[in-house]
């Protein structure tokens, strides 16, 4: 039985949280201001409204509903957060933290209203520990800022599937999928330690931050970022006994509000290469990938499908159609490219031009593409490339000969090879008549694996929804893909024809699991539209969960409801933990 | 008046199109040279609430347009809407992600216009300069004759000159050395040009602060002056005037301009071969005015002023951490210098500190408004550090110094 996504229970919960009584709100504000700088506590509606929506809308199943918090606090320290939690507990009001606000599915939208903790002032990179290979940051530090600090030192963080504007802390705690997840694990596996505030105001420090906690935090000065300190060689992850670090995982602040995180950093490698292959049949592709993973080749990879969805999601329909025409029809492609060559014949003598062209021809007519990331010493990268090529052409694994698009990948992801020339892709695409294709987009693409913006771009085209599984067995990838497509067709989702849906499968070395992401573009103008999309989401989530594939991303209210149905034991345990910590109401259910 | 008719439904849809990707708050990674200078939104970094960043303002726009809350109940609303320097840093990042109908600066300007119509905005000092424009045709309340700094009267109101030098109010009344340097350069290149005594405010301060009542009159009156003198090219030394005339006037008029527009930075770059610069020993930084860069998308003027500076022998131009599309606003734009002077000065000080960190002794910019903002910032920075004040100089002033060997 698939649950109703707009159940009476959910509606009732939302109805239970109207705007806070003015006098009570004023009283709470005064209490908060006893400790927190009064400038940073407010109940002014103009300061509250900005928290009422995220990437996927208002978080509610009602199309026009935008719930603002009752009070906003901008803390400067863990003690400000602890005080806020104590006051919230005293008055029994909900608390919800937000870091960068680059959220989906209403995770940081205050459906139950209450106090919003905005971490904008807690934006410090506190420590970089080159000895223990960790760094410690506050909640408002984004991947781009951290990477800007690490890059000159020769390090990087594990790259998220989220855009670079995502916060390191919340991405890790909300089980953020990483491009190298198959090699290094997903978000929580990056965490070496944390400092968080329980709902009762108690400060907890775990793992690497339990010993030598960072209490001496530099003063916050707008627009200035102090240099991080050198770390004391943090290596501790777990002591004996249960590890409390897991308590705030995925709870979106309900089980505890995290104020510092210590995460792993990695040295930049000597050499890198991204290989690209195109397949007609997804089963062939997944079999080859499973073999690559089993042999621990490379650091990870991505499967994109269906092929036409990639240009559709990131470019205008007209441009996408032109591209697909080229990808699907040899004669058209040859004619168009010959025409462009006639205009500028010297191009054929340029090596990058020939490489891009051979890459385009390699993936032409294929339904699915895959990129495989190779990193390491030059020797290792070359060896891994040869091993990959052998697997991709192994008749025991695949009954089709895959197209090789590596020449295109080299110049598309230009940030990874020194002699890459992305302008040649631009020249070719422009000469093929693409109108909306910009060189600056391409230049951004080159750093995609460091600073991914593709999901943002997808969302931006016409708003969208995203389902993501942090882990699933390889064997279920093909099956999950079909469930998603079936649900879309069943609901008469118009985007099927237009290619406004896609799946990305992160996979790679390490045989344990792959990560699946499903995207669909929608822009609900009416309640009917929104109901249709929610039905697809609930249907897919429910079916996959029944088969053991867990999707944490879904619309806030519906997600809690489905989890409660599917994971009653986990919910009972969570309830007991919350009660033990005297937790106030921190979520819709 | 096609441009200033506010379509509330379209505006609401634009505001709702923002997906809070948060890319607009910091320089794009490809443009970020270091974590220290990653911030680009002046109001966000200063005021810290989400409301002061573009996504926050978009949601407030939505709430205003949907009448979600009584406007008079908010004490912060005015500060939030009018603290945007309209520098366009958010818009640049928005465009990198996808071509968009959001354009946060545009939304903010339209919301300012709505608030001004309702009597809620603008800030008191901004209202003052609108009154001055109405009365004196300039935002400074100057009653003296326009462009009285011109010594050679033969250039005044000359017909059929190739170039019409549109001086602008800030240059003409507050920074006459920039205007004098511009005229000197035009004399040196033996250009056929004119300066008008009839020129009035271009409308920029009013458009940026949402006070649109008088704008059409200003545009029409200026247009008549330019057309009467039958000039082919209008030349600007002010980035704000250049942006307003090039981008806003065609929208207001509903048709293309009957003349070409050119900024002095472009003019100088075109004429570089004609100049014989004398060596100058100086380490300088170049500050990109928002109105010459981000606001002029897709025709940003970034390379031309740099070419001019780099051509001067002995000049060592340092590259700042935030440049071109990622530049930090001087803090003076969008009526902020008049409306919130302390905040404006803080941002300018941050920018000057960035110049100091690179070891430059002067900062060059082709915008009189940036010169004013950065000068205040330089004074404050010198006071804070106890070091010598960083010099702030117009591009034309630098060129004249290099030509005269001073």
Angle at B244 between CA B241 and CA B249, to 5 degrees: 130
Q: Are B163 and B233 in contact (CB under 8 A)?
A: yes
What pLDDT does residue A588 have?
Answer: 42
* Interchain contact A147–B (C-beta under 8 A): yes
Q: Do A148 and B29 touch (CB under 8 A)?
A: yes
Are A557 and A61 spatial neighbours (Cβ–Cβ below 8 Å)?
yes
* All structural domains of chain A: 18-268 (3.30.465.10), 271-474+502-518 (3.40.462)
CB contact under 8 A, A163 and B59: no
Min Cα–Cα distance to chain A from B383, Å: 18
Domains B125-270 and B277-404 are alike in CATH topology: yes
Model pLDDT, residue A587 = 47
The reply to whether A223 touches chain B by the CB within 8 Å rule is yes
Report the candidate in A282, A292, A266 with the shortest Cα–Cα distance to residue A376.
A266
Q: Do A223 and B100 touch (CB under 8 A)?
A: no
Secondary structure (DSSP) of A392-445 = HT-TTT-SS--EE-HHHHHHHTGGG-TT--THHHHHHHHHTT-SS--HHHHHHH
Tell me the pLDDT band of B188, cut-offs 50, 70 and 90: very high
Residue A577: the pLDDT is 72
The residues, any chain, with a CB within 8 Å of residue B83's CB and separated by 6 or more, are B43, B46, B47, B52, B336, B340, B343
Query: Does A443 reach chain B within 8 Å, measured CB to CB?
Result: yes
Q: How many residues does chain B have?
A: 406
Task: Using the structure block, give the residue that is written with the tokens 């937790």.
Answer: A583
At residue A386, the pLDDT reads 96
Query: Does the beta-carbon distance from B20 to A101 stay under 8 Å?
Result: yes
What average pLDDT does this structure show over B38-64? Answer: 95
**Contact (CB<8Å) B68/A49:** yes
Q: Which residues contact B217 (CB under 8 A, 6 or more apart)?
A: none
Chain B neighbors of A223, CB-CB under 8 A: 39, 45-46, 346-347, 350
Which H or E run includes B296? none
Residue A177 · residue A161 · CB < 8 Å: yes
Give me the torsion for CA of A492, A494, A497, A500, rounded to 10°. Answer: -120
Lowest-confidence range among A553-557, B34-38, B172-176, B303-307? Answer: A553-557
Q: Which residue shows structure tokens 């410090």?
A: A124
Half-sphere exposure of A292 (CA within 13 A, CB side): 38
Q: Chain A: residue nearest B57 by CA?
A: A50
What is the spatial order of strands in the sheet that B362-365 belongs to?
B315-318, B282-286, B362-365, B391-394
The domain spans of chain B are: 8-121, 125-270, 277-404
Q: Reduce the secondary structure of A133-188 to three states and give it as a string.
A: CEEEECCCCEHHHHHHHHHHHCEECCCECCCCCCEHHHHHHCCCCECCHHHHCCHH
CB contact under 8 A, B19 and A42: no
Residue A301 φ then ψ, to 5°: -165, 175
Strands A257-264 and A191-197: antiparallel
**Are A51 and B98 within 8 A, CB to CB?**
no
Distance from CA of A188 to the nearest CA of B (A): 22
Q: Provide, as residue numbers in chain A, all residues whose Cβ is less than 8 Å from the Cβ of B26.
A: 142, 144-145, 165
**Listed residue (B354, B376, B375) closest to B365, CA to CA:** B375
- Phi first, then psi, for residue B211 (nearest 5°) are -100, 85
Please compute the mean of the pLDDT values over residues B90-96 and round it to a whole number: 81
pLDDT at B391: 97
Contact B20 A118 (CB under 8 A): no
**What does the pLDDT look like over B365-377, one tens digit per residue?**
999 999 999 999 9
What was the pLDDT predicted at B20? 85
pLDDT for B1: 45
Average pLDDT of chain B, as a whole number? 92
- Token pair of B184 as six digits: 């000197």
pLDDT in the model for residue A179: 65
Predicted pLDDT of residue B388: 95
Chain B residue with minimum CA distance to A43: B74
Put simply, the answer to whether B50 touches A51 (Cβ < 8 Å) is yes
- Pair of tokens at residue A382: 């070359």
What are the Cα distances from residue A62, in Å, to A519, A525, B331?
21, 11, 40
Q: In what order do the strands lie in the sheet with A368-376?
A: A403-404, A271-279, A368-376, A300-305, A501-507, A514-521, A464-472
Q: Which of B23, B69, B87, B345 to probe the A interface (max A CBs under 10 A)?
A: B23
Does A62 contact chain B (CB < 8 Å)? Answer: no
In this complex, do B21 and A459 lie within 8 Å of one another by their Cβ atoms?
yes
Out of A207-211, A326-330, B6-10, B98-102, pick the least confident.
B98-102
pLDDT surpasses 60 at B100: no
pLDDT of residue A584: 52
Question: What is the per-residue pLDDT across B370-402, written as a single tens digit (0 to 9) for each?
Answer: 999 999 999 999 999 999 999 999 999 999 999
Whether residues A144 and B38 touch (CB distance < 8 A) is answered with yes
Mean pLDDT for B9-27 is 85
Q: Given this model, what pLDDT does residue B196 score? A: 94
> What six digits make up the tokens of A531?
């109901």
Nearest to B261 by CA among B223, B224, B207, B216: B223
Tens-digit pLDDT profile for residues B232-290: 999 999 999 999 999 999 999 999 999 999 999 999 999 998 899 999 999 999 999 99
Query: CB distance A457–B97 less than 8 Å?
Result: yes
3-class state of residue A260 by DSSP: strand
Domain B125-270 class in CATH = alpha beta
Any chain B CB within 8 A of the CB of A501? no
> pTM value?
0.91
Among candidates B35, B50, B68 on the partner chain, residue whose Cβ is nearest the Cβ of A148 = B35
The answer to whether A545 faces chain B, any CB pair under 8 Å, is: no
Distance CA B67, CA A64 (A): 13
Instruction: State whether residue A77 sits within 8 Å of chain B by CB.
Output: no
Q: Do B36 and A225 touch (CB under 8 A)?
A: yes
Q: Does A42 touch chain B (CB under 8 A)?
A: yes
User: Can you name the CATH fold of B277-404?
Assistant: Rossmann fold (3.40.50)
Inter-chain CB proximity A47 and B80 less than 8 Å: yes
The pLDDT value given to residue A197: 94
Q: How far apart are CA A13 and CA A337, in angstroms?
A: 59
CB contact under 8 A, A66 and B59: yes
Are residues A312 and A499 in contact, defined by beta-carbon separation less than 8 angstroms?
Answer: yes
Q: Which ranges of chain A have pLDDT less than 70? A: 1-7, 9-10, 177-183, 236-241, 300, 308-317, 327, 330, 436, 440-441, 444-472, 499, 507-514, 522-523, 550-563, 567, 571, 578, 581-589
CA distance A527 to chain B (A): 16
| Chain B residue whose CA is closest to A459 | B19
What's the rounded mean pLDDT across residues B192-221?
Answer: 94
Beta-sheet pairing, A125-129 with A229-230 = parallel
Q: What confidence score (pLDDT) does residue B342 get?
A: 96
Contact A272, A416 (CB under 8 A): yes
CA distance A22 to chain B (A): 12
Q: Do A148 and B46 touch (CB under 8 A)?
A: no
What integer is the mean pLDDT of B120-127? 91
Please give, rounded to a whole number of angstroms, the shortest distance from the CA of A162 to a CA of chain B: 10
Give me the pLDDT at residue A404, please: 94
pLDDT in tens, B292-306: 999 998 899 999 999
The closest of B85, B178, B146, B92 to B367, measured between CA atoms, is: B178
pLDDT score at B243? 96
Q: Does A37 touch chain B (CB under 8 A)?
A: no
């Amino acid at each position: 039985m698939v649950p109703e996504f707009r159940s009476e229970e959910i509606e009732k919960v939302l109805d239970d949280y109207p705007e806070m009584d003015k006098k009570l709100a004023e009283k709470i504000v005064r209490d908060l201001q006893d400790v927190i700088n009064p400038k940073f506590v407010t109940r002014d509606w103009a300061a509250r409204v900005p928290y009422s929506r995220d990437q996927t809308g208002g978080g509610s199943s009602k199309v026009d509903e935008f719930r603002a918090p009752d009070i906003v606090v901008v803390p400067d320290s863990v003690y400000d957060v602890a005080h806020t939690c104590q006051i919230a507990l005293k008055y029994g009001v909900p608390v919800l933290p937000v870091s960068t606000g680059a959220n989906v599915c209403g995770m940081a939208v205050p459906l139950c209203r209450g106090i919003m903790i905005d971490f904008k002032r807690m934006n410090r990179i506190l420590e970089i520990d080159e000895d223990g290979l960790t760094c410690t940051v506050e909640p408002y530090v984004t991947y781009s800022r951290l990477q800007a600090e690490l890059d000159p030192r020769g390090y990087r963080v594990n790259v998220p599937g989220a855009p670079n504007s995502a916060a390191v802390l919340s991405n890790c705690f909300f089980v953020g999928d990483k491009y190298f997840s198959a090699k290094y694990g997903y978000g929580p596996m990056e965490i070496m330690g944390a400092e968080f505030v329980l709902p009762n105001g108690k400060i907890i420090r775990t793992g690497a931050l339990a010993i030598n906690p960072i209490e001496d935090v530099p003063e916050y000065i707008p627009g200035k970022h102090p240099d991080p300190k050198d770390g004391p060689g943090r290596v501790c992850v777990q002591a004996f006994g249960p590890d409390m670090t897991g308590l705030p995982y995925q709870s979106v602040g309900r089980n505890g509000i995290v104020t510092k995180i210590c995460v792993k950093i990695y040295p930049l490698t000597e050499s890198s290469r991204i290989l690209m292959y195109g397949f007609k049949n997804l089963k062939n592709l997944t079999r080859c990938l499973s073999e690559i993973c089993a042999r621990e080749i490379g650091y990870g990879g991505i499967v994109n499908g269906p092929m036409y969805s990639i240009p559709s999601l990131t470019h205008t329909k007209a441009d996408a159609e032109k591209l697909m025409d080229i990808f699907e029809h040899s004669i058209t492609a040859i004619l168009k490219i010959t025409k462009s060559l006639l205009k500028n014949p010297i191009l054929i003598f340029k090596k990058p031009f020939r490489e891009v062209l051979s890459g385009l021809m390699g993936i032409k007519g294929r339904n699915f593409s895959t990129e495989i990331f190779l990193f390491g010493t030059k020797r290792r990268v070359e060896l891994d490339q040869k091993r990959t090529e052998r697997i991709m052409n192994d008749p025991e694994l695949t009954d089709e000969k895959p197209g090789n698009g590596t020449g295109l990948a080299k110049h598309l992801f230009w940030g990874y090879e020194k002699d890459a020339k992305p302008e040649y892709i631009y020249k070719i695409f422009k000469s093929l008549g693409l109108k909306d294709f910009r060189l600056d987009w391409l230049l951004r693409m080159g750093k995609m694996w460091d600073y991914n913006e593709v999901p943002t771009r997808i969302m931006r085209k016409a708003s969208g929804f995203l389902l993501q599984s942090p882990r699933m067995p390889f064997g279920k990838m093909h099956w999950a893909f079909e469930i998603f497509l079936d649900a879309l067709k069943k609901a008469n989702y118009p985007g099927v024809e237009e290619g406004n849906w896609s799946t990305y499968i992160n996979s790679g070395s390490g045989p344990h699991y792959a990560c699946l992401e499903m995207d669909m573009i929608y822009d609900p103008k009416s309640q009917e539209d929104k109901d249709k999309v929610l039905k697809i989401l609930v249907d897919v989530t429910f079916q996959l969960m029944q088969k053991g594939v867990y999707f944490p991303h879904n619309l806030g209210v519906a997600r809690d409801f489905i989890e409660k149905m599917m994971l009653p034991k986990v919910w009972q345990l969570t309830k007991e933990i919350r009660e033990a910590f005297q937790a106030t109401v921190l979520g819709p259910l | 008046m096609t441009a200033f008719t506010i379509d509330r439904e379209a505006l609401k849809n634009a505001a709702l199109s923002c997906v809070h990707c948060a890319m607009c708050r910091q320089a794009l990674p490809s443009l970020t040279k270091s974590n220290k200078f990653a911030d680009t939104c002046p109001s966000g970094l200063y005021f810290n609430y989400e409301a002061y960043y573009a996504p926050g303002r978009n949601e407030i726009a939505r709430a205003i347009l949907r009448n979600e809350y009584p406007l008079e109940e908010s004490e912060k609303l005015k500060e939030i809407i009018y603290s945007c320097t309209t520098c366009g840093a958010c818009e640049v990042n928005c465009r990198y992600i996808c071509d968009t109908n959001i354009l946060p600066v545009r939304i903010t300007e339209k919301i300012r216009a709505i608030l001004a119509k309702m009597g809620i905005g603008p800030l008191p000092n901004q209202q003052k300069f609108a009154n001055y424009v109405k009365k004196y045709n300039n935002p400074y309340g100057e009653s003296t004759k326009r462009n009285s700094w011109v010594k050679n009267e033969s250039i005044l109101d000359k017909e059929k000159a190739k170039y019409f030098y549109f001086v602008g109010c800030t240059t003409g009344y507050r920074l006459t050395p920039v205007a004098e340097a511009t005229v000197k350069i035009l004399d040196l290149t033996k250009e056929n040009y004119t300066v008008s005594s009839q020129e009035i405010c271009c409308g920029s301060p009013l458009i940026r602060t949402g006070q649109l009542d008088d704008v059409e009159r200003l545009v029409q009156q200026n247009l008549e002056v330019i057309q009467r003198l039958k000039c082919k090219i209008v030349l600007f030394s002010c980035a704000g005037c250049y942006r307003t005339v090039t981008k806003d006037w065609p929208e207001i008029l509903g048709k293309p301009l009957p003349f070409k527009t050119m900024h002095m930075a472009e003019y100088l770059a075109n004429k570089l071969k004609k100049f014989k610069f004398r060596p100058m020993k100086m380490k300088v930084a170049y500050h990109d005015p928002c109105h010459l860069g981000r606001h002029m998308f897709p025709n940003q003027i970034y390379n031309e002023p740099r070419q001019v500076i780099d051509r001067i022998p002995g000049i060592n131009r340092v590259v700042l951490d935030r440049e071109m599309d990622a530049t930090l606003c001087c803090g003076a734009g969008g009526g902020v210098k008049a409306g919130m002077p302390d905040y404006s000065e803080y941002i300018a000080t941050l920018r000057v500190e960035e110049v100091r960190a690179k070891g430059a002794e002067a900062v060059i910019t082709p915008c009189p408004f940036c010169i004013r903002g950065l000068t205040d910032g330089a004074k404050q920075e010198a006071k804070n550090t106890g070091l010598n004040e960083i010099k702030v100089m117009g591009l034309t002033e630098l060129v004249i110094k290099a030509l005269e060997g001073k």
